Amino acid sequence: MNDMERLAEEIFSAAEPALLKLFKNEEHFYYCTLVTTGEGHAPLISAWSWEALRRVASTRPEPQAYAQLIKWSYADSPYYDFFVGEGFSKVAELLKSRPGIDDLDLSAWEKELDFRLSAMEMAMSRIDSRGVFHINQPRHEIFINVEVMPPDSSNTFRAMRLNPPQATVSWLAEAAEP
């Protein structure tokens, strides 16, 4: 197993049980992502269901406007950092053993960050192939991704690779970075 496969396997091993646990709530999810930073830290899980969006938005004076504002916000979700502290510690250790942003010039760091994001994408693709995102909704109704925060255009490229076209329509129109 090469380094990328090893990292992807650790991410998969942490994320799949967390997502299975999350989807046991029987809500209908439309958004699920692994979020990381430009420093390529271990990812965290964030997700939105239609039910959660209605619950959160209903607490505001203008629920529909607020729902549109937070619909694609990983940070505003009640499922932000779902599974916190439980499963990504091995991933964090693996990432610490790799060169860090402070150890590399810009070009080398971009390659390292791409390596880390590719491993996260491999893990999400594997979870998808196992049918996890079909739980509670048809697959084409849930948008999945690996996102860098703050957002950049690379998020769009990963989204296009990870999703069937129908799953990307709303996200591309409402949230994608050019």
Q: What is the pLDDT of residues 16-62, one digit of tens each?
A: 999 999 999 999 999 999 999 999 999 999 999 999 999 999 999 99
Pairing of strands 44-49, 143-149: unpaired
Q: Is 34 part of a structural domain of the chain?
A: no
Query: CA-CA distance, 161 to 96, in Å (whole number)?
Result: 27
In this prediction, residue 133 carries a pLDDT of 98
Q: Is 154 part of a structural domain of the chain?
A: yes
Pairing of strands 29-37, 44-49: antiparallel
Q: Is 32 part of a structural domain of the chain?
A: no
Q: Is 45 part of a structural domain of the chain?
A: no
Contact call for residues 35 and 119 (beta carbons, < 8 A): no
Q: Is 139 part of a structural domain of the chain?
A: yes
Query: CA-CA distance, 20 to 34, in Å (whole number)?
Result: 14
Q: Is 167 part of a structural domain of the chain?
A: yes
In this prediction, residue 80 carries a pLDDT of 95
Q: Is 41 part of a structural domain of the chain?
A: no
Please give the tally of structural domains in the chain.
1
Q: Please, which residues bridge with residue 45 across strands?
A: 34, 82
How many H helices and E strands in the chain? Answer: 7, 3
Rounded to 10 deg, the angle between the 154-162 and 106-129 helix axes is: 20
Contact call for residues 120 and 16 (beta carbons, < 8 A): no
Contact call for residues 44 and 35 (beta carbons, < 8 A): yes
Looking at residue 87, the DSSP 8-state letter turns out to be S
Residue listed under structure tokens 């420093």: 39
In this prediction, residue 54 carries a pLDDT of 98
Domain around 124: 3-23+52-174
In this prediction, residue 73 carries a pLDDT of 97
- Mean pLDDT per 10-residue interval, the chain, length 178 residues: 94 96 96 96 96 97 97 96 79 94 93 97 98 97 96 94 97 88
Q: Is 12 part of a structural domain of the chain?
A: yes
In this prediction, residue 85 carries a pLDDT of 60
Tokens of 74: 């990983």
In this prediction, residue 51 carries a pLDDT of 98
